[in-house]
């Protein structure tokens, strides 16, 4: 199959077309013809050599990167149920994938645990943009923050890949959602459901938001987030490293 691979870590100039073998599906795996894949920050980190175990455990050069994908099932293992050849699906490959089995190629072989059927009305391109960013936002709301209906949450970085999902998921959970973004993103974020959009270039969120139940930080500004929280509020970050002092706040 044709792939876009790298022969060493580095800039995007390292990408080159390489023919690689496909991987035959095991009993509980399917092979998917890739129609679309998406790029997340971990793709860039992988290309630059900034990821370590478990991501890199099976890697060698030439290396086909990529996790999120959408496509059509072309082969199935014997024990697969709930999917058929020809089904349109989307998903994200397991963190550790073999060097020839990333998504920047014509085919990927994945366990059915990593798959879902493509919902009606969603294009391959749209579906490929969902898994990692969407699941990161969902996990933050549901499991880290345990967000409840009626609570107030600040999503820092609402216009980012994860922030866009976080706003919509928090609204679906019934929360009141404030978010930070540049002024040109106000209309979009309001359409997605944000109750309040703060232009962080002009206004310090901590000056106008108080006693929030939750903060979801996607920009690494933990100190501002902590100032917005009420005493027993919760902050989850996907972009910063809390110090012991902050964790105790």
Ligand X SMILES: NC(=O)c1ccc[n+]([C@@H]2O[C@H](COP(=O)([O-])OP(=O)(O)OC[C@H]3O[C@@H](n4cnc5c(N)ncnc54)[C@H](OP(=O)(O)O)[C@@H]3O)[C@@H](O)[C@H]2O)c1
Question: Which residues lie near ligand X (CB under 6 A)?
Answer: 40-41, 132-133, 136, 156-157, 159-163, 180-182, 185, 200, 218-219, 221, 238-239
**Which residue number, 44 or 85, has a Cβ lying nearer to ligand X?**
44
For residue 175, the tally of other CB atoms under 10 A from its CB is: 24
**89 Cβ contact list (under 8 Å, min separation 6):** 30, 32, 70, 71, 72, 73, 83, 115, 116, 117, 118
Please give the residue whose beta carbon sits closest to ligand X in the complex: 160
**Which residue number, 1 or 45, has a Cβ lying nearer to ligand X?**
45
**Which residue number, 21 or 95, has a Cβ lying nearer to ligand X?**
95
Distance CA 178, CA 209 (A): 8
Compute the least distance from the CB of residue 62 to ligand X, in Å: 25
Q: Do 130 and 90 touch, CB atoms closer than 8 A?
A: yes
Q: Which residues partner with 212 through β-bridges?
A: 229
Compute the least distance from the CB of residue 184 to ligand X, in Å: 7
Closest CA to 77 of 28, 23, 22, 24: 28
Compute the least distance from the CB of residue 68 to ligand X, in Å: 8
Question: Burial level of 110, CB count in 10 A (0-12/13-18/19+)?
Answer: buried
Distance CA 234, CA 219 (A): 16
**Which residue number, 30 or 97, has a Cβ lying nearer to ligand X?**
97
**Which residue number, 107 or 216, has a Cβ lying nearer to ligand X?**
216
**Which residue number, 50 or 247, has a Cβ lying nearer to ligand X?**
50
Compute the least distance from the CB of residue 239 to ligand X, in Å: 4
Compute the least distance from the CB of residue 229 to ligand X, in Å: 17
* DSSP 8-state assignment for residue 119: P
**Which residue number, 159 or 194, has a Cβ lying nearer to ligand X?**
159
* DSSP 8-state assignment for residue 184: G
Report the first-to-last Cα separation within the chain, whole angstroms.
53
Compute the least distance from the CB of residue 155 to ligand X, in Å: 9
Q: Do 59 and 6 touch, CB atoms closer than 8 A?
A: no
């Amino acid at each position: 199959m044709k792939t876009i691979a790298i022969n060493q870590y580095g800039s995007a100039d390292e990408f080159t077309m390489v023919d690689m073998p496909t991987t035959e599906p095991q009993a509980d795996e399917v092979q998917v013809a890739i129609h679309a894949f998406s790029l997340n920050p971990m793709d860039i980190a992988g290309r630059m050599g900034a990821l370590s175990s478990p991501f890199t455990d099976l890697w060698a050069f030439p290396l086909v990167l990529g996790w999120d994908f959408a496509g059509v099932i072309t082969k199935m293992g014997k024990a697969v149920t709930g999917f058929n050849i020809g089904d349109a699906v989307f998903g994200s490959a397991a963190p550790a994938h073999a060097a020839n089995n990333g998504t920047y190629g014509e085919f990927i072989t994945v366990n059915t645990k990593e798959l879902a059927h493509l919902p009606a009305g969603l294009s391959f391109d749209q579906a490929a943009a969902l898994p990692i960013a969407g699941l990161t936002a969902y996990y933050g709301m549901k499991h880290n923050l345990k967000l409840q209906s009626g609570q107030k949450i600040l999503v820092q970085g609402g216009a980012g890949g994860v922030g866009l999902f976080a706003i919509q998921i928090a609204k679906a959970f019934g929360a009141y959602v404030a978010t930070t973004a540049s002024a040109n993103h106000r209309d979009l974020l309001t359409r997605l459901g944000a109750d309040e959009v703060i232009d962080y270039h002009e206004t310090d969120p901590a000056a106008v938001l108080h006693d929030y139940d939750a903060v979801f930080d996607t920009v690494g500004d933990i100190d501002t987030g902590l100032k917005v929280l009420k005493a027993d509020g919760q902050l989850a970050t996907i972009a910063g490293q809390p110090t012991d002092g902050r964790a105790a706040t």
